Chain A
Amino acid sequence: MPHTFKIPLLRASVWSQEGGREASTSFLDRASGPPDVAFLDPLIRRRLSPLGRAMLHCAQRAAGDQGPLPSVFSSRHGEAGRSLPVLEDLAQGLPPSPTQFSMNVHNASAGIWSIARRDPSPSLSLAAGLESFAWGLVEAQAIHAAAPETPVLLVHGDAPLPPLWASFDANPLPLHALALLIGLPAIHHLILTWSPEARPAVADGPWEGPCALDFEAPGGPWATADGTWAWRVE
């Protein structure tokens, strides 16, 4: 049986490397070019990867002047670009860079976000393969449903894998990020439908997961290992 989640949205921010669609409204901030992370102390922001910069650019624009905010960070590949140099150093018997080591964890961006905002609210960082964005949405909606008076911030982003690992991703997406402020009263709703029984016919084909870049457009159905996903914003 399909599961439908009606997710209330207050604000959204999308960032992509390629420009061309910068039109913004009071609901949606769409940007490209260098991410704007001037709100972070220079000593804090210097450690952010390009992915971290893109994600926190969106996080800040979606969060606006909200106070303490529970947050969910989702990314399929996370800081893989930082893990590889650490592993390469170890393989050569060299001590890895402490900065690369400390920032190659999956919750690196979430950690910088909470430190910069001095926000002790619950925060989690998840990866769920091709479905990372979809499960991030479900997780954030679950947190919001448990306490509807509190908005929840969902921040998603991904960067292509380093060339050595590129064969693990059949459909690499360019560096991109998106943040959604989930809360009431909703400006729009994101209707997310998950049909766990609807499995793709070809089990080992290149599955296309829900794509954060196209979150405004009606999406799907995307077939994944866990069934199919579809959504629309209304």
Chain B
Amino acid sequence: MQDITPTEIKQFIIRTLDLEDTRPEEIGDEQPLFKEGLGLDSIDAFELGLALKKAYKLNLESEETSSFAHHFRTAASLAAFVSSHRQVTI
């Protein structure tokens, strides 16, 4: 399967979290998504995680829960994480 690009992840984030005034190009690939970066919070993290798991049927069985914060740090890190764990193309 082809890798997910950071831009696809940004579009997914904007759509899932109703970031009505944000465009994908306004989010940097390496910009932190949470807190002082894009400003997302813990509810967003849950929402995003559930939505990604559902949309891409992520296989997370071998994944340590403690590593999620690292993978969800930026659009680039999240794109790499989804690319390596997804089981479907959307």
- Residues in A with CB closer than 8 Å to B21 are 42
- Residues in A with CB closer than 8 Å to B69 are none
- Which B14-48 residues have a C-beta within 8 angstroms of A? 17-22, 39-40, 43-44, 46-47
Q: Check A99 against B20 for contact (C-beta < 8 Å).
A: no
Q: How large is the interface on A (under 10, 10 to 19, 20 to 34, 35 or more residues)?
A: under 10
- Whether B55 is near chain A, meaning CB under 8 Å from some CB there, is no
Q: For residue B46, which residue of chain A has the nearest CB?
A: A98
- Residues in B with CB closer than 8 Å to A171 are none
- Whether A95 is near chain B, meaning CB under 8 Å from some CB there, is yes
Q: Check B17 against A46 for contact (C-beta < 8 Å).
A: yes
Known pairs A95-B50, A98-B50; A43 contacts B39 (CB<8 A): yes
Q: For residue A102, which residue of chain B has the nearest CB?
A: B43
Majority secondary structure, A binding face: helix
Count the B residues whose beta carbon is within 8 Å of the partner chain — how many?
13
- Whether A77 is near chain B, meaning CB under 8 Å from some CB there, is no
Q: Check A98 against B19 for contact (C-beta < 8 Å).
A: no
- Residues in B with CB closer than 8 Å to A99 are 17, 43-44, 47
Q: For residue A96, which residue of chain B has the nearest CB?
A: B50
Binary interface profile of A, 93-116, with partner B (CB < 8 Å = 1, else 0)? 001011100100000000000000
CA distance A46 to B43 in the complex (A): 13
Q: For residue A44, which residue of chain B has the nearest CB?
A: B39
- Residues in A with CB closer than 8 Å to B20 are 42, 46
- Residues in A with CB closer than 8 Å to B19 are 42-43, 46
- Whether A6 is near chain B, meaning CB under 8 Å from some CB there, is no
- Whether A47 is near chain B, meaning CB under 8 Å from some CB there, is yes
- Residues in A with CB closer than 8 Å to B47 are 97-99
CA distance A97 to B52 in the complex (A): 12
Q: Check B50 against A46 for contact (C-beta < 8 Å).
A: no
* 17 A-B pairs in the complex with CB atoms less than 8 angstroms apart: A42-B19, A42-B20, A42-B22, A43-B19, A43-B39, A43-B40, A46-B19, A47-B18, A95-B50, A97-B47, A98-B46, A98-B50, A99-B17, A99-B43, A99-B44, A99-B47, A102-B43
